[in-house]
Chain A
């Protein structure tokens, strides 16, 4: 079952998981300061920032993919800089896919974190400050542990959303085996060439995997809430 028509069905799945994992790690690091700022700021730039962060939810993946293709391409602002440093192009590479996925899944990481941070009682943080904790100290010692569920929610959503993406990946990454051919692309590929058997197997694999991940999350969530 592993080898079908000379092609592994597991390689694209593994690549998808790898991409989703790296994206999730990067996104948590990027989204946390954004979400914290949004949750605490009285700034008038808050609505603008919120709108920008939320855009990937509304825009068709092709639009995001198109702009990213231009931006990350060898002549684009980020792409040319990347070529100078690494000698490789960002487009049609795994690194390019990670950047694209981060942009595409950003709102799914920011929003659970932001709502977790916003629900922190203000006075609890104030108490931590009066007890001698600097703002940064209080953030790591109090705000983060009190927002664990927000972090879990953000990680699961970012992971799942990256796993399920198609349009952006297709436009920015193309279809290079072992580099950018993630499972959704591979399935599309098999259907295009009428290899319904392989498409079935990969689809089923993804279906089961998605179910197990989500089911696991809800079980953990329930345990926590009844703790």
Chain B
């Protein structure tokens, strides 16, 4: 049945929504975990926002959930922060709190976590885009929703503001107990923030699963080419002051990353794009690339185009490499071969 957002059974939440428009049809029936962040990834026009609007009750879909929007307990963070211009920041974030019967979120903690202490007496028109989005997120969280929907909350911000807001989202991810659906068309954002991944195309969920597992699949068209890449959990353990490099340990060896990272912290998530990984048959000694890992070829997916996607196993982690089909033939790469993977760049979730 159409038990939508808010009603959880055994640690999963069922999203069942259908909607028919003239040029578009949405038909979704999928389960997501009630913990962590679920990324909803798809191209523009694939129905991401429409699905979110159905879940929130803002769109009249064919589900039998007749509860009005304000009784669903679903928080919605819009792409453009929608603050109330006549209220100051404090009253903006308290708007939902006052209308919530089950306020169990600590207001001070949320204000602290999103760095809003100095903004409370300001009016929304005096805030930057990033600040306004933080206020909107705080307002949504304080209402203690059953489910939080975030519709590309970074898309309207420039790169500097994005970099400014991302660490706050990381903190939310670590501290949050409420399930969240995070919509994005950026695979970097999704791999950084999410634990679970839904791929949507033309109004349908084409695949869903745990993030690492989904990213290691070679058969998903949406996760091929420049979107292909893997994430690994690694622990920063040594900082080389002379060269300003931090060394990370993971199951498959060591990775050096430019910059200083807190070596007393626990594991962090690293993203390695498939196009930044190349394959050698012998250990390259005369390369400028710092990170060379010993790996075994686990699978090769060739498509009709010039490129091929190779899944490598290093330790217990997967790496993807985007190479040309010609290289596969030239090096005679096969499943089970021992190779050396050169990793050109690594993105760290701070």
Interface residues of A (CB under 8 A from B): 121, 123-124, 126-135, 137, 141-142, 145-146
Contact = CB atoms under 8 A, between A and B. Distances in A.
B80 A131 contact: no
B56 interface: yes
A124 B82 contact: yes
Contacts of A135: 68, 70
B70 A129 contact: yes
Main secondary structure of the interface of A (DSSP, over half): helix
A126 B96 CA distance: 13
B250 interface: no
Contacts of B56: 126, 130
B69 interface: yes
11 contacts: A126-B56, A127-B76, A127-B82, A127-B136, A130-B75, A130-B140, A131-B70, A131-B143, A132-B100, A133-B99, A145-B86
Contacts of B83: 124
Interface string B62-86: 0000001110111110101011111
B331 interface: no
Interface residues of B, number: 25
A128 B100 contact: no
B58 interface: yes
A142 B70 contact: no
Nearest to B95: A131
Contact of B58 (A126, A134, A145, A146): A126
A69 to B, nearest CB: 44
A121 B124 CA distance: 15
B78 A127 contact: yes
Listed from nearest, the 4 A-B pairs whose CB atoms lie closest are A132-B99, A131-B96, A127-B82, A129-B69
Contacts of B143: 131-132
B138 to A, nearest CB: 12
A124 B69 contact: no
Interface string B136-158: 10011001000000000000000
A131 B78 contact: no
B11 to A, nearest CB: 24
Contacts of B86: 145-146
B69 A126 contact: yes
A134 B68 contact: yes
